[in-house]
Amino acid sequence: MNGDGITDVSGFPRPPFEFEDAEERVIGIREFDGERDALMRMYEEYDPGDRAQGIPPVRGDALERWLDSILKGVNAVSWDGDDAVGHATLVEDEGMDAHELAIFVAQSHQCAGVGSRLIRGVLSLAYERGVRDVWLSVERWNRAAVRLYNGVGFEKTRQEGFEIEMATRLTES
Amino acid sequence: MKTVLGMGGTDDSIRALEHTLDRVADTGDDLTVAVIENPDSVPDSDEVKDRAKEIVEEHEADAEIVHLSGDPGSAIVEFAESNGYDEIVLGGGETSAMGKIQIGRVAEFVLLNSHTSVKLVR
């Protein structure tokens, strides 16, 4: 599972925190605290073209089941006022001491620095919760995502065909 | 229509077989189950062949079961093309704990190399 990726979370902001994004909106990043309805609203409006490997599911009941399963892990949410505009989640692999990461940013808040703060925030939170090994898979053509993951220490562990797998180990210096 | 289903023994390939048997029961299509040596599957090809036979019998269906040796992707593509099949059916991949679909190596190879239409069962 481990490549050579190392992520030092000591420089990462730990939720809760606020910042001003590239469009001068004040964005708060906080740990998920039961705001399931706000996340449902974000995912119901999510652009199907921004889905990755089948998630988030588009249809209502599949979406609800998926959301319930991932909300058991470590979750951080980006807020613009009362609107959820980003969500990062780590889900534990059954029987393995590793967590799978995924991150979603609403179309209205992409390319504004929300994703890069959110991923740092969720990794810092995950470290605090005892998570060490993190992996993810990303479609090969999604270069913006690969850059984001590289930027926080992820390294490729497998690349054959349509998707790339990346992994890192969280540390704190 | 002549359909060949590639089955390596992973859970998604078993679901694909069950789905396809239900389909051919409706359509009357001609189905061949090709047991392939999937490196990602734990059971060996004899076990997979027995399992395929069981499932076909449970569905009271009539399907020929063949064993293809060698590289699974190229074996199924070559088998389909040289025997005049209209469609290759494969399992549509496993999903991770996160729910992300991960397509297997055999399906990737077949999608990129087959001149026969390919169906992935979800």
With a pLDDT cut of 70, the percent of chain A lying above it is: 98
Query: What is the spatial distance between Cα B120 and Cα B93, in angstroms, rounded to a whole number?
Result: 8
Q: Look at residue B93 and tell me whether its pLDDT is greater than 60.
A: yes
Q: Which residues of A touch B108 (CB under 8 A)?
A: 160-162
A86 vs A93: which has the higher pLDDT:
A86
Q: How confident is the model at residue A3 (pLDDT cuts 50, 70, 90)?
A: low
Task: State which amino acid sits at residue A12.
Answer: F
Contacts of A161 in chain B (CB under 8 A): 103, 105, 108
Under DSSP, the state recorded for A6 is: E
Structure tokens at A92: 């534990």
pLDDT bucket at A158, cuts 50 / 70 / 90: confident
Give the pLDDT of residue B102: 87
Alpha-carbon distance of B34 to B88, in angstroms, equals: 10
| Number of A–B residue contacts, CB under 8 Å | 41
Q: Is B122 helix (H, G, I), strand (E, B) or coil?
A: coil
Q: Does pLDDT of A19 surpass 80?
A: yes
To which H or E segment does residue B121 belong? strand B117-121
Please name the residue of chain B whose CA is at the shortest distance from the CA of residue A95.
B97
∠ CA B37-B68-B20, rounded to 5°: 85
Q: What is the pLDDT of residue A157?
A: 94
Element (H, E) at B96: none
pLDDT at A2 over 60: no
Which residues from chain A sit within 8 angstroms of residue B98, using beta carbons?
55, 70, 89, 91, 100, 102
Residues of A with CB under 8 A from a CB of B: 52-55, 57, 66, 69-70, 89, 91-94, 100, 102, 137, 160-163
- Nearest by CB to A69, from B99, B101, B108: name it: B99
Kindly report, residue by residue over A58-79, the tens digit of the pLDDT: 888 999 999 999 999 999 999 9
Query: Could you tell me if A119 and A13 are in contact, meaning their C-beta atoms sit under 8 angstroms apart?
Result: no
pLDDT tens, position by position, A102-120:
999 999 999 999 999 999 9
- Give the DSSP H/E element, type plus range, for residue B117: strand B117-121
What is the CATH number that goes with domain B2-121? 3.40.50.620
Which domains are present in chain A? 6-171 (3.40.630.30)
Q: Domain coordinates of chain B in residue numbers?
A: 2-121
Q: Is the separation of the CB atoms in B40 and B8 below 8 Å?
A: yes
pLDDT for A91 beyond 80: yes
Q: pLDDT by residue (tens digit) across A32-59?
A: 999 999 999 999 999 988 888 899 998 8
pLDDT digits over B65-83, tens only? 999 999 999 999 999 999 9
Q: ipTM for the complex?
A: 0.80
Q: Which helix (H) or strand (E) holds A74?
A: strand A74-80
Tell if the CB–CB gap between A54 and B98 is shorter than 8 Å: no
